[in-house]
Chains A and B, each alone.
Chain A
């Protein structure tokens, strides 16, 4: 496979169809991969606003318990649980997944591998429509009698299985249906990403000429497809328990509530890497462009990510060390969990080594990419405490866990996504974003992000548990020092949200008034930069690109320009 250039699938025949279309068929029912990418991106960003608003409300409650919260009012315990639950659900399933995999995959894969569209454009359109439906169902579930589901995003039965326990007779099934539909949407999207990359690459693009971002999305899609089966099965069983009175997870009737935890986390842990890998891919692209360097050890990164994916199927029970599974099982899961630090470390080391000998330009995209490396490093290493089952006895379900996974998910779903937006905005919309405002947005976001979660590490180490509505009910946690830290974290959250206003304004103003970008504003080498900005329907016009070299040929010795695009014909004497 490595030596055979793939056939030109979908070339030629499609171009006659790429004509001018009405607004509805162009933007709403489009089968164009770029438009579907935008649909996912904007839906994801809108959901991120909802998730961020939820975080604001429950953090305000924790900082100022019982007081009236601006833009909400007084928060009841049931509403608090529902906000916490749906914040987690939204940020993972409706923000990280659509923006990182679906938006980046849809927009970047065909452009980066040099083809005119996904191989199954209608499946692609269906994928987004199901996704949108799932988002609508989730939002509807907040307003049904009994309110939105409040049993935590992990949805452990028997709490989630019976309305008499969770008091949300409609919220709980709707939440479950929404999550299941969202998963169906991503299965459809994943088919496209894998098939397109394997079959529709530009002439001459060999297996190691594929840009790292495309590889990462493909590996993530494979991981997702392999891990999601048990969750869908579990979700159907749980839905039957909720609505038809079956008892798959009811111990009194012969079921086993811990079974759900296995099904959920067998999916749930690979899911972390499903969103991590595209973020790593984004960082690889951005770092290479702005350090003017070839990616360090391309194959090592690629094989590490495959190894990471395989290993990620054998770590799930580290979420269940104290959940009543056989205590001897933890020996295996502690070992695999700590070993998974190695492929992740190799990837981060390779990114850091890419900086060596570079000529680093601190554009906003690069600042976000560098921040990803630094912040994710802290998120990654704090996982070692938790992966060690002995320490996890104490830290399990505390704010230490919460701070740990926010130090992984915020770099993934916020910081890397901003790197991607600032980097590809010129290609997406044909105009540059304002760099000064971009840098203000960067510093505001990253500093306040650390301000939120570093205090939470300390609170967690002091024994503060998650999902508690009001810590004043616990004398050991009601001290003034601890409350001050909570107030500080909440203030930093408000600040971080406020800085996003700068981003939104910058985004909208740049759409209209930004400087014209031209085809290749960053002097990058990959194929998406050789076409117009924004790319026309069909991407590359009449001549599809042909590939002669790898994706990261920057600063090649003996060449005048410091970048060598993948499609540039080699000079005759070098052949």
Chain B
């Protein structure tokens, strides 16, 4: 449905930033639907406003009219647009629910999982190794670099070690706050290869402004090359975030229980 609608839309967001995840198109189309509906009202009301300001400017010899706005007919001037706005609101709310459900509530069965740990002021990413299972010995840990495969359904598990952070990947149209004490699960499916920014989107202290990372989306083969270059698990890389085996297993169990 969104692919079909997209053909008739202005494509505001896509003209500014690529769509690198499967659900990005839904958010873009919703953005455009709102742009069209709200833009229509905005131009209409502002145009009418300027027309009135011009039409009824003060001129010598013409007196203003006495209009109370309390008669039934005059009230309709506001009541009719108000029902039209209500209709537009509903027209926005329904697709919003659909998009929200698809992006934030339903988690599709994953091909692969990734664990993301935020802390002041770095991101630690735990990738599954060659066995494609997270939480085993061949996991690959990296700082401020997330490596994912194109056309693979991912589930992420987001944690924070200290304060609120927010995991934001603009090209994915993905954002989720990391809350200390919780493991928050979500999903994404990359559809483009390339390299883009990850930003922290929640004020997290002095160096919040440099708490960025990069996401590398590669084809299956290139990802295998990267895996090979980093296997076995490189604990030396995780100077900032040393995590013992038990911790990984423990948090995995919590996840399964919760």
The residues of A with any CB-CB pair to B shorter than 8 Å are 77-78, 80-81, 150-152, 154, 156-159, 165-167, 251-252, 256-258, 291-300, 322-324, 327-328, 330-331, 334-335, 338-339, 341-342, 345-346, 348-350, 352-362, 370, 373-374, 377-378, 381, 384-385, 388-391, 393-394, 396-398, 458, 461-463, 465-470, 473-477, 554-557, 562
Say if the beta carbon of B30 comes within 8 Å of chain A: yes
Number of B positions contacting A (CB below 8 A):
86
**B177-218 to A contact mask, C-beta < 8 Å, 1/0:** 101111010000000000011011111111111101010000
Instruction: Report the bound CA distance from A295 to B89 in whole Å.
Output: 27
Closest to B84 in A: A345
B47 → chain A, closest Cβ, in Å? 11
A394 with B64: in contact, given A299-B70, A342-B89, A345-B82 (CB under 8 Å)?
A: no
How far, in whole Å, are A293 and B63 apart by their CA atoms in the complex?
10
Known: A358-B65, A373-B49, A555-B64. 6 other contacts (CB 8 A): A341-B89, A345-B85, A352-B52, A462-B16, A465-B201, A469-B209
Contact B210 A470 (CB under 8 A): yes
Q: Which of chain B's residues has its CB closest to A324's CB?
A: B179
Most buried by A among B35, B58, B174, B202: B202
Contacts of B105 in A (CB 8 A): 327-328
Are B170 and A397 in contact (CB-based, < 8 A)? no
Q: How close is A209's CB to chain B, nearest CB, in angstroms?
A: 14
Instruction: Answer whether residue B176 sits at the interface, using C-beta atoms and an 8 A cutoff.
Output: yes
Q: CB within 8 A of B27: which of A345, A346, A390?
A: A390
Once A362-B57, A477-B197 are accepted as A-B contacts, the answer to whether A338 and B13 lie under 8 Å apart by CB is no
Contact B162 A359 (CB under 8 A): no
Q: For A339, give the chain B residue with the smallest CB separation.
A: B89
Chain B residues in 8 Å Cβ range of A350:
69, 78
Instruction: Report yes or no: B164 in contact with A359, Cβ–Cβ below 8 A.
Output: no
User: Please, how many angstroms separate the alpha-carbon atoms of A374 and B166 in the complex?
Assistant: 34
Contacts of B75 in A (CB 8 A): 297, 300
The answer on a CB contact under 8 Å between A397 and B49 is: no
Q: Are A394 and B175 in contact (CB under 8 A)?
A: yes
- List B residues at the A interface (Cβ < 8 Å): 12-13, 16-17, 26-27, 30-31, 34-35, 38, 41-42, 45-46, 48-49, 52-53, 56-59, 62-70, 74-75, 77-78, 81-82, 85-86, 89, 92-93, 95-100, 103-105, 120, 162-164, 166, 168, 170-171, 173-177, 179-182, 184, 196-197, 199-210, 212, 214
Known: A356-B56, A391-B27. A476 touches B197 (CB 8 A): yes
CB-CB under 8 A from B42, the residues of chain A are 377-378, 381
Known: A361-B58, A555-B64. A393 touches B174 (CB 8 A): yes
Contact B205 A167 (CB under 8 A): yes
- CB within 8 Å for A324 and B177 given contacts A159-B163, A345-B82: yes
Given contact pairs A293-B67, A390-B96, A151 touches B205 in the complex (Cβ within 8 A):
yes
Bound form: Cα–Cα A422–B58 in Å: 19
Partner of B74, one of A257, A296, A339, A361: A296
Please, how many angstroms separate the alpha-carbon atoms of A256 and B93 in the complex? 30
Do A390 and B81 form a contact, CB below 8 Å, given A356-B52, A357-B64? no
CB distance from B76 to the nearest CB of A (A): 11
Query: Which of A295, A330, A397 lies at the interface centre, i.e. has the most chain B CB atoms within 10 A of its CB?
Result: A397
- With A297-B70, A556-B66, A562-B63 known to touch, is A159 a contact of B175 (CB < 8 Å)? no
Neighbouring B residues of A78 by C-beta, 8 Å? 206
A-B residue pairs in contact (CB < 8 Å), sample of 5: A297-B74, A324-B179, A335-B93, A359-B56, A359-B59
Q: How far is the CA of A354 from the CA of B56 in the complex (A)?
A: 11
Are B30 and A557 closer than 8 Å at their CB atoms? no
Which residue in chain B gives the minimum CB-CB distance to A320? B177
On whether the beta carbons of B162 and A158 are closer than 8 Å, the reply is yes
B96 to A388, Cβ gap below 8 A? yes
Q: Are B53 and A355 in contact (CB under 8 A)?
A: yes
Q: Which residues of A contact B59 (CB under 8 A)?
A: 359
The residue from B17, B77, B168, B209 contacting A397, defined by CB atoms under 8 A apart: B168
Asked whether A251 lies within 8 Å of B179 as measured between CB atoms, the reply is: yes
Contacts of B17 in A (CB 8 A): 461-463, 476
* Cross-chain contact of A388 among B12, B30, B78, B168 (Cβ < 8 A): B30
- In whole Å, how far is B207's beta carbon from the nearest beta carbon of chain A? 6
**How far is A455 from B17 in the complex, measured between Cα atoms in Å?**
16
A432 to B31, CA, bound (A): 48
How far is A488 from B10 in the complex, measured between Cα atoms in Å? 26
Residues of B within 8 A of A385 (CB): 31, 34-35, 38
